[in-house]
């Protein structure tokens, strides 16, 4: 039966319902009452038998948009679907829910990278390839589907072979999931016991050394920090004797040195002809560790499409530009590009908002010493350094949460603080949380225009904080921090769980807040592309992680990036097409030339 909702201009429109917002108890199914086809007696919009929430028959819907405009909770949208996608999806969650088209290719002996926005289907892809989710081929009402059904539905012989191998237990997949809750359930086991159970290659000792896990072995998973949990989960996945390794967002909470180390670990696997597929939002790291790229494009929470295989530079640039040449698909109205030239600003004569003397702070096994410095009005200072060198401790001293053992931090203005670790413990909606956090009315137009609309916060206002995803929670905490009227904004790792677009939006919004409020921003960040976009100056934290830390700076961004990259032993160049920062291959001609000149951070195309 043909679709009735095709439109001119190469697209058809499909109805999507946000069931978190749909509330028939308060509106009485107003969408059903005003649907012109329902008024003619045709059952196009109808209540779900169980939840009573609205459902829209996609093939009967004429996409008139009346229900979209009449819905008081803004739960319904009409999403344009390219006509090229007239085939059935590989998986669909429901009548008016997300649908996925296509799957990536798994190439033995290669590290593949998967890039795409949050809500575009990346985790669904990994769930399917791992065998945890049996795809329904768009037949979302069918139950108890098995691999035989899938093998018959899939067009490409490569994917048929993969599903046949899963069915016959002829391929083993190791899957590091984005959400690590399954390890929290094993709270009685030590990290050493978890690693021993997973170790099928006799690689435990090597992984403990490479991922710096020695001091964690006697601990239990709930006791670990975010970065420690991530490293343990990666070790467990890599310790298994598998044919395919699926790694979902390994960079969250890891510092830049730890992220760079992932490339070495994954390279060891592919040298054994294993297959590695990585989802990562830090495009600098994804570029560095991948050998090929596939992009997911579409409309978040509505549909996602997997592109063909592309070279790393070509694939990432195509994603940023929003144009896939081979498919002749444009999915972004405005390309994402980065500043190519950084003009250092002089801060002479600008009022000082923060001044700190030589600070010292000691814990049982850790000592921090901070050199004197100051932060000016309107300045964005980015803090760079490895985990465990005292960055968060320093920010907490500025926020007044911790007292220095020696020295003083004079904060001559009001402060708003976004912590590193954010939780869903608040019992209430997003709107209530932001109002209580910031002590400010969220309906102000200046807040909507500068923060809520760019961050997609308004559509979350009525959601309970406890139900937010990691990316949604991060955006809400950043928005709450910036909503509070302050002179100094202390922001600890604002990019965790955010996709590429959201990271860039957040960095620009933070800079805009400094301008809007004539305020200072001090931010901790590990994504070097964001550091490049965000910072005016840099404060470096060096030392021995977990034992001692000291600072260098603040200094200009060029000098700061140069010093940090030299410390890491890598060189950067800018991509001439997009302006994004790329890590040079060690020992390459351009790497050698930059090292000889002392230009580890090459700030020109």
- Pair 446, 551 in one domain: yes
256 within some domain: no
One domain, residues 452 and 469 = yes
Structure confidence by residue, pLDDT tens digits, 34-62: 999 999 999 999 998 888 999 999 888 98
What is the tally of structural domains in the chain?
Answer: 5
User: Please, which residues have CB within 8 angstroms of residue 400's CB and are 6 or more apart in sequence?
Assistant: 411, 415
Residue 316 to residues 156, 292, 294, 323, 532, Cα–Cα distance (Å): 25, 10, 9, 11, 18
Tokens of 22: 């749909």
Domain boundary among 224, 241, 258: 241
Distance CA 189, CA 186 (A): 6
Cα dihedral 442, 446, 449, 455, rounded to 10, equals -50
Please say whether the beta carbons of 351 and 376 come within 8 A.
yes
The reply to whether 143 and 204 lie within a common domain is: no
For residues 410 and 355, the answer to whether their CB atoms sit within 8 Å is yes
Ordered mean pLDDT values, 10 residues apiece, the chain (605 residues): 44 82 89 92 90 89 91 87 72 91 94 95 95 91 86 80 93 91 83 94 93 92 88 96 96 91 94 96 94 93 92 95 86 78 74 91 92 93 93 92 90 88 88 93 91 91 89 94 94 91 91 90 92 91 92 92 93 90 90 92 64
Q: Give residue 478's pLDDT.
A: 96
Domain assignment present for residue 260? The answer is no
Query: Does 338 fall in a domain?
Result: no
pLDDT of residue 145: 87
Work out whether the CA dihedral 92, 93, 98, 104 comes out positive or negative.
Answer: negative
CATH of the domain at 27: 3.30.70.20
Contact 476, 430 (CB under 8 A): yes
Confidence at residue 11, expressed as pLDDT on a 0 to 100 scale: 61
Q: Is the domain of 383 the same as that of 416?
A: yes
Distance CA(128)–CA(265), nearest Å, equals: 24
Q: Which of 385, 405, 388, 354 is nearest to 522 (CA)?
A: 354
CATH of the domain at 129: 3.40.50.300
The residues, any chain, with a CB within 8 Å of residue 550's CB and separated by 6 or more, are 368, 369, 370, 371, 541, 542, 543
Are residue 144 and residue 179 in the same domain, yes or no? no
Structure confidence at residue 1 (pLDDT):
35
> How far is it, in rounded angstroms, from Cα 200 to Cα 236?
10
Measured over all CA atoms, what is the biggest interatomic distance in the chain, rounded to whole angstroms? 78
In a domain, residue 337? The reply is no
Do 325 and 315 contact (CB within 8 A), yes or no?
Answer: no
Q: Which of 82, 109, 129 is the last residue of a domain?
A: 82
If we measure between CA atoms, which residue out of 359, 390, 358, 356 comes closest to residue 549?
A: 390
Q: In what order do the strands lie in the sheet with 303-306?
A: 91-92, 99-101, 303-306, 292-299, 111-115, 275-279, 244-248, 173-176
Q: Among positive and negative, which fits the CA dihedral 552, 555, 561, 563? A: negative
50 and 113 housed in the same domain: no
Pair (162, 204) in one structural domain: no
Verify that 194 and 299 share a domain, yes or no.
no
372 and 498 part of one domain: yes
Residues 284, 383 within the same domain = no
End-to-end CA distance of the chain: 53
Any domain includes 493: yes
Whole-angstrom distance, CA of residue 249 vs CA of residue 496:
10
Q: What is the pLDDT of residue 325?
A: 87
The residue count of the chain comes to 605
Whether 548 maps to a domain, the answer reads: yes
Q: How many CA atoms lie within 13 A of 105 on its CB side?
A: 15
Whole domain around residue 587: which residue ranges? 569-605
105 and 67 inside one domain: no
In a domain, 247, yes or no: no
pLDDT the model gives residue 334 = 84
| Domain-embedded: residue 560 | yes
Q: In terms of domains, do 486 and 594 share one? A: no
What predicted TM-score, i.e. pTM, was given to this entire model? Answer: 0.86
Q: Who's near 86: CB < 8 A, 6+ residues apart? A: 3, 12
β-strand pairing of 173-176 with 292-299: unpaired
């Amino acid at each position: 039966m043909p679709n009735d909702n095709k439109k001119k201009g190469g697209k058809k429109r499909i109805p999507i319902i946000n069931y978190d917002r749909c509330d028939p108890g308060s509106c009485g199914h107003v969408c059903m009452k005003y649907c012109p086809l329902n008024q003619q007696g045709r059952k196009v919009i109808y209540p779900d038998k169980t939840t009573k929430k609205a459902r829209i028959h996609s093939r009967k819907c004429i996409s008139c948009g009346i229900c979209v405009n009449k819905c008081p909770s803004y739960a319904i949208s009409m999403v344009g679907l390219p006509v090229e996608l007239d085939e059935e999806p590989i998986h669909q969650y429901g009548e008016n829910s997300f649908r996925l088209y296509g799957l990536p290719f798994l190439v033995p002996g290669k590290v593949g990278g998967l890039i795409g926005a949050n809500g575009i289907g990346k985790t669904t892809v990994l769930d399917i390839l791992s065998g945890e989710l049996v795809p329904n081929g768009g037949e979302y009402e069918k139950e108890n589907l098995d691999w035989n059904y899938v093998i018959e539905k899939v067009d490409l012989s490569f994917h048929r072979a993969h599903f046949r191998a899963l069915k016959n237990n002829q391929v083993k997949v190791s899957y590091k999931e984005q959400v690590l809750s399954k390890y929290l359930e094993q709270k009685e086991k030590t990290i050493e016991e978890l690693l021993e159970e997973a170790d099928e290659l006799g690689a435990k000792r090597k992984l403990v050394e490479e991922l710096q896990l020695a001091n964690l072995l006697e601990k239990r998973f709930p006791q670990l920090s975010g970065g420690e949990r991530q490293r343990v989960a990666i070790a467990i996945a890599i310790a298994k004797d598998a044919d395919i390794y699926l790694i979902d967002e390994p960079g969250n909470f890891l510092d830049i040195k730890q992220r760079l180390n992932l490339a070495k670990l994954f390279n060891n696997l592919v040298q054994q002809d294993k297959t590695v597929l990585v989802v990562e939002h830090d495009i600098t790291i994804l570029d560095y560790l991948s050998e090929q790229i596939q992009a997911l494009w579409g409309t978040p929470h509505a549909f996602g499409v997997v592109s063909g295989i592309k070279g790393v530079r070509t694939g990432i640039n195509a994603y940023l530009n929003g144009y896939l040449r081979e498919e002749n698909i444009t999915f972004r109205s405005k390309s994402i590009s980065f500043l190519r030239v950084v003009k250092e600003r002089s801060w002479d004569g600008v009022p000082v908002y923060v001044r700190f003397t030589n600070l010292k702070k000691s814990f049982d096994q850790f000592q921090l010493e901070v050199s004197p410095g100051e932060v000016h009005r309107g300045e964005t200072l980015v803090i760079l350094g490895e985990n465990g060198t005292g960055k968060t401790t320093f920010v907490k001293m500025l926020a007044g949460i911790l007292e220095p053992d020696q020295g003083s931090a004079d904060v001559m203005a009001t402060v708003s603080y976004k912590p590193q670790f954010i939780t869903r413990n608040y019992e209430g909606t997003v709107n209530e949380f932001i109002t209580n956090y910031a002590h400010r009315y969220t309906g102000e137009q200046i807040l909507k225009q500068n923060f809520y609309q760019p961050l997609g916060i308004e559509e979350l206002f009525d959601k309970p904080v406890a139900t937010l995803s990691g990316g949604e929670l991060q955006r809400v905490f950043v928005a709450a921090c910036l909503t509070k009227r302050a002179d100094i904004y202390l922001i600890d790792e604002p990019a965790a769980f955010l996709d590429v677009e959201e990271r860039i939006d957040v960095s620009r919004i933070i800079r805009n807040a400094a301008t809007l409020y004539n305020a200072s921003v001090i931010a901790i960040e590990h994504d070097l592309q964001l550091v490049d976009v965000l910072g005016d100056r840099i404060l470096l934290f060096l030392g021995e992680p977990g034992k001692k830390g000291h600072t260098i700076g603040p200094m200009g961004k060029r000098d700061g990036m140069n010093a940090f990259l030299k410390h890491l032993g890598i060189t950067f160049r800018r991509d001439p097409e997009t302006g994004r920062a790329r890590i040079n291959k060690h020992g390459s001609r351009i790497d050698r030339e930059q090292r000889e000149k002392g230009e580890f951070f090459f700030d020109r195309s």
